Amino acid sequence: MSTAARSNAVAVVRRLRDAGFQALLAGGCVRDELLGLAPKDYDVATDAPAEKVLALFAGSLPVGAQFGVVLVPSGAERIEVATFRRDGVYLDSRHPVSVTFGSAREDAARRDFTINGMFLDPIEERVIDYVGGREDLARGVVRAIGDPAARLDEDKLRMLRAVRIAARLGFTIEERTWATIRSQAPLIGRIAWERIGEEIRMILCEGPAKRGFELLRDASLLAAIMPELLAMEGVPQAPDHHPEGDVWTHTLLVIDQLRAPTETLAFGALLHDIGKPVCIGRKRTPAGERITFYGHPERGAEMAVVICQRLKRSRAVWERVAYLVRNHLRLVSAPQMRKATLTRFLREDGIHELLELARMDAMASSGDLQYWEFCRTELARLSAAQMHPPPLVTGRDLIAIGLAPGPRFREILQAVEEQQLEGALGDRDAALAWVRARYA
C-alpha cells in the first residue's frame, strides 16, 4: 500500500476523533508497520456505531452493519471501519450469532492472533497492545489470543491463516496453537471451499510457498484439503534427471521459486507432477531397470482440474492450469518440431507461463535449461507478422474456385497456413494454385 493509503486511513481516524469518537488503526496493518512492511490495506476500529460512521462519510457502504462494519470511500480505495465489539457464540465456524459493541480491549480479545490484535494511534504514533502481540512479534511467534481451541472453533479458516502468516513472515506457530491446529485439521472442510481455495492461493502467491506447504503437510491440513499431494512423498525418480529426490521434494523446490506469480502459474507449479504417483512404472533397459511416468502430464491435467474445482477456482484458472500441466514437458520436443508446428506452439496463449514453469521445473531437477533457452531464443526471433501472418486465402476464395462450403474448409485453411508458416507459400496466387492442385 502507498503512503497515500495510510494518509487516507489517518484522515478517517481524524474525522472520527473530531466527531467525538475513539478511532485507531487495527489488525494486520499495525503488525506490518511494526515489522517495517507495507500493509496490504488499512482497517480502522472505533467506538462509533455503524449508523454514525455512515452519517459522517458520504458514499460509505454498510457491508456488515449488524457487526458494525462499514466501508468508507477514500481515494481509489475503501477503508473498512468496524465498531469495537465482543462476539457471541459461533455456530457455523465463521459468524457469531450475535455481537455486543464494547471497548477496544474487548475488541482485541475476540481477534484471531496476538500479532493481529494490536491497535495503533496514528495521531500520537502509539501502539496499544492488550494481548501481548508486540512481544510475540519480537519473538516471531503466531499465537492464538486466549484459548486456541475457542479461537479456532469460531472460524476454522484461522488454521490456514496461521500457516499463511507464519510462512509469509518466517514465524513459528506457538506450541498450544500448533497442537490445536493439528487436532482440528480434519474439520477444515466445515467451512466454504471458496474460502479454503483463497487461502491456498495466497499461500502460493504471497510466499514463501515452500514453507507454507511444509506447514500445511505437518499440520495435517494438506491431508484434508489436497491429499493427492501427499501421494508424491516417497515416489522415487530417476537420479540422473532428478538428483534432488522424490516427487514431493521436487515439487517443493519448484514452488520455492515462485515470486509474486499469477494464480495459474502458481497452481501449475504445484500440480505439474500430480499425475506421477498414479503413472509410475519401470522399464528394463540395457543399462538396467528405469523408473517411468508415461502419461503423467495428461493424467495430471485431469487431476489438476478436479483439485482446482474442489478449491472453487474459476473456469479460466483451471483451464489454464490444465494446459500448463498437460504441456510442461512439451518444450523437450521443440528442437525437433517442424517450423510451422514450432510457430504454432510458441504463439499459444499460455506460452509465457509455460516457459516459466519449464524453467522452474528444470532448475529444481537437473538444471538443464537447453530446451527453455531454445524456445526463448525462437520466441524472441519471431516477429508478430511471422507468428500471426495474414491469411493467404479465405473461405470466399475457396467458394470462388468451386469448392462447396462445409467442415472441410477449416481443414483446407489450416493446411494453407501450415504451408505459409513453413515458408512454402508466400502469396495468394500460389496458395490458390496449391489448393486447386490438392482439393479442387
How far apart CA 119 and CA 71 sit, in angstroms, is 19
Which pLDDT score is estimated for 240?
Answer: 86
The DSSP symbol for 130 reads S
Provide the residue type at 37 as one letter: L
Cα angle 119, 157, 133 (rounded to 5 degrees) comes to 25
Whether the pLDDT of residue 76 is over 90: the answer is no
pLDDT at 101 over 90: no
Q: In this model, does residue 94 exceed pLDDT 70?
A: no
Which pLDDT belongs to residue 424?
93
Express each pLDDT in 302-349 by its tens digit: 999 999 999 999 999 999 999 999 999 999 999 999 999 999 999 999
272 backbone dihedrals φ, ψ, rounded to 5°: -60, -30
Q: What is the pTM of this model?
A: 0.91
Pick the CATH number of 144-225 from 3.90.1150.10, 3.40.190.10, 1.10.110.30, 2.40.10.220: 1.10.110.30
User: How does residue 194 score in pLDDT terms, banded at 50, 70 and 90?
Assistant: very high
Residue with cell 471501519: 81
CATH 3.30.460.10 maps onto the chain at 1-139
The band of 3, judged by pLDDT with boundaries at 50, 70 and 90, is confident
pLDDT digits (tens, 9 = 90+) for 204-246: 999 899 999 999 999 999 999 999 999 999 999 988 889 999 9
Q: Is the dihedral of CA 78, 206, 308, 186 positive or negative?
A: negative
Residue 368 has pLDDT above 70, yes or no: yes
The candidate with the shortest Cα–Cα distance to 290, out of 245, 234, 364, 240, is 240
Pinpoint the residues of the chain covered by CATH 1.10.110.30.
144-225
Q: What is the pLDDT of residues 84-93, one digit of tens each?
A: 988 756 555 5
Reported CATH class of domain 1-139: alpha beta
pLDDT digits (tens, 9 = 90+) for 22-64: 999 999 999 999 999 999 999 999 999 999 999 999 999 998 7
Among all chains, which residue has been given the C-alpha cell 498450544? 176
Please, what's the largest Cα pairwise distance for the chain? Answer: 88
